[in-house]
Amino acid sequence: MTAKVSAGQPEAPRDDRGAAAIAEWWRSSITDIAPDQIRIRGYPIQDLVGTITFPAMVWLMTRGELPSPQQARLLETVLVAGVDHGPLAPSLSIARMAATCGVGLNNAMASGVNVLGDVHGGAGEQCMELLGDIVRDPDFASDASRVAAAHVEAFRAANGRYLPGFGHRYHRTDPRSVRIGALLEEAIGQGIVTGDALKAARAVEAVLAGKGRAVPLNIDGITAVVLLELGFPAALGRGLFILSRSVGICAHAWEQMQEGGRIKGPVPKEFTYAYQGPALRSVPQAWTGGSTAGKPNDADQLPDQD
């Protein structure tokens, strides 16, 4: 691959091997910068500002091409819906606790974003993989129900009963899923997306409902469906969720900063934890040379502790 070094850097060393090697090392296809010129994926930034929406910019940056305005609006629904679910999710409570420890808003936000890992932030990504497998199954068109049942069974055999994207500990019917589902149906009707991923998700819901109480799509699930319909790869799904949830993380860290506490722990200070380790004991003679063995220092001071 030949690296094309951007023109226009007045102080750059003339074209020696060092500069070329560095340029190749840091190559990128996202933003092209020269003095007085910034282009995103080939579009002058000033042609985008005030013209495209923020969700369209998210799409352009991550995928390289602009979406249609209709596609961008569909992406916007999941970005709007995912911003927050209260202060007790670890990402949010961590950001709030961090905000009281004498660090910047950026550090508090990073602390929250950092824990949106495979388990906390990855349900949508895993759901995208499951549903994507179903849609790509050659028998999906002819027999979605059977294909969905087979993939659910295989998924559970490999990963346990919990199915990412379906059901919620707290909500029976997640109002976000219902609303986004309705908007997605509209978009399918208008031919903006195919509806295959939604069909796969409904087939999974039917499989689950057949086994007892309803386990409907939750917010991770409907988000996965929308992103699949829009052609996003599963692994990028987590990135989009992070961009959405970062708004909540920012808002909670900010709210906590307004309150002005110092060193907020997970519970009020009058609570404590349960120590469950060994009772009082003395340091072995190998370390003490025998001088204190058998006589732990705090035994006399606090005789009724143990």
Answer for which of 141, 156, 235, 290 binds a second copy (CB under 8 A) is: 235
Least distance in angstroms from the C-beta of 34 to a second copy: 6
Q: Can you point out the beta strands (E) in 208-260?
A: none
Least distance in angstroms from the C-beta of 96 to a second copy: 8
43-44 and 31-34 as β-strands: parallel, antiparallel, unpaired? Answer: unpaired
**CA distances to 26, 27, 38, 159 from 34, in Å:** 16, 15, 7, 49
For residues 270 and 267, give the distance between their C-alpha atoms in angstroms, rounded to a whole number: 8
Residues 92-121 that bind a second copy (CB under 8 A): 93-94, 97-98, 100-107, 109-111, 113-121
For residues 200 and 185, give the distance between their C-alpha atoms in angstroms, rounded to a whole number: 14
Answer for which of 39, 133, 150, 195 binds a second copy (CB under 8 A) is: 39
3-state secondary structure of 44: strand
Q: Write the CB contacts of 13 (distance below 8 Å, at least 6 apart in sequence).
A: 19
Beta bridge partners of 39: 32, 44
Residue whose CB is less far from a second copy, 132 or 203? 132
Least distance in angstroms from the C-beta of 179 to a second copy: 4
Answer for which of 185, 209, 231, 287 binds a second copy (CB under 8 A) is: 287
Least distance in angstroms from the C-beta of 306 to a second copy: 9
Task: Answer for the pair 78, 223: CB distance below 8 angstroms, yes or no.
Answer: yes
Answer for which of 190, 210, 267, 303 binds a second copy (CB under 8 A) is: 267
> By CB under 8 A, is residue 136 in contact with a second copy?
no
Answer for which of 161, 211, 213, 262 binds a second copy (CB under 8 A) is: 262
Q: Please tell me the total number of residues recorded for the chain in this structure.
A: 306
Answer for which of 211, 213, 260, 276 binds a second copy (CB under 8 A) is: 276
